[in-house]
Amino acid sequence: MERAAPDVLLMQETKLADDRIPDLAFRMAGYELAHHGEGRWNGVAIASRKPITDVVTNFGDSVSPSSVKTDDGDFEPLRQARMISAVCEGIRLVSGYAPNGRQLGTPFYQGKLDWLGRLHEWLQESCSPDEPLVLAGDLNVTPNDDDVWDARAAHGGTHVSAPEREALARLRDWGLTDAYRLVEPAAGRYTWWDYRAGMFQKNMGMRLDLIYVTRPLVDRVVWAEIDREARKGKPTPSDHAPVVVDLDEPGLAFDAGWEAAMKRIAQRRR
């Protein structure tokens, strides 16, 4: 928040119940906060410098406790706190946290496809591609092979499978455009790196965190970046990096760290 000073911040995997959110801290920083959480797992939020209205959670569906207990609570994603939406300054904002899917052919994988299908269904039911809308978050799918460090090495796992990508393509077909790709078409920049085996240092990552916009916002996108620097530091950072998109005019400039990193990576490969 200090590095980029965003007007709007969409967050995923907050791991907080609604009565535990740091509302005062956000308000002191100048933000209004809307949160949808369940406690130990998941959780999504929207913070905005402008008033937030018309909040929708869980696609407007009622939520009941999961009927199946697992070690990480992702067996029945449609019962979980994975989606929040609100209107800010005339733009419908949607913060989504898609399930991981774990492994192809499992109930967890099918749950992921079901959740992505429900997201598409909700857009069709409740929104219009002719109105300003931003869908952003950890969607846990790479749009295509340019969004994976090595498509051959990743083949056979989640995040790259054809059914997942087809579900993502249906969202685009509904009327969404990848805002980051409007500014940065080149491959090799990712938003997620595993903690293991120095994958971050080797840039062996995936672009799983996406910002999609409807047609009325496409021409308003003036800048986009992945903040690689936020993946560093202490305490242990998230294995995801924030994605930043500016509408209408550039926001606060910051060094995302890519230029220096790509030079180091190229030297290692040589």
CATH number of the domain enclosing 90: 3.60.10.10
Instruction: Look at residue 3 and tell me if it is in a domain.
Output: no
Q: pTM above 0.85?
A: yes
Q: Per DSSP, what are the bridge partners of residue 134?
A: 93, 213
Given a cut of 90, is residue 40 above it in pLDDT?
A: no
Given a cut of 90, is residue 259 above it in pLDDT?
A: no
Band (69; pLDDT cuts 50, 70, 90): low
- Phi and psi at 93, nearest 5°, equal -105, 135
Choose among 253, 35, 226, 246: nearest CA to 134: 246
Query: pLDDT tens digit string along 120-159?
Result: 999 999 999 999 999 999 999 999 999 999 999 999 899 9
Which strand (E) or helix (H) includes residue 214? strand 209-214
- Give how many domains the chain has, as a whole number: 1
Given a cut of 80, is residue 268 above it in pLDDT?
A: no
Instruction: Look at residue 1 and tell me if it is in a domain.
Output: no
Instruction: Look at residue 2 and tell me if it is in a domain.
Output: no
Residue 143 is part of which domain span?
A: 8-269
Band (72; pLDDT cuts 50, 70, 90): low
Query: pLDDT tens digit string along 90-114?
Result: 999 999 999 999 999 999 999 999 9
Least confident of 25-34, 98-107, 254-263: 254-263
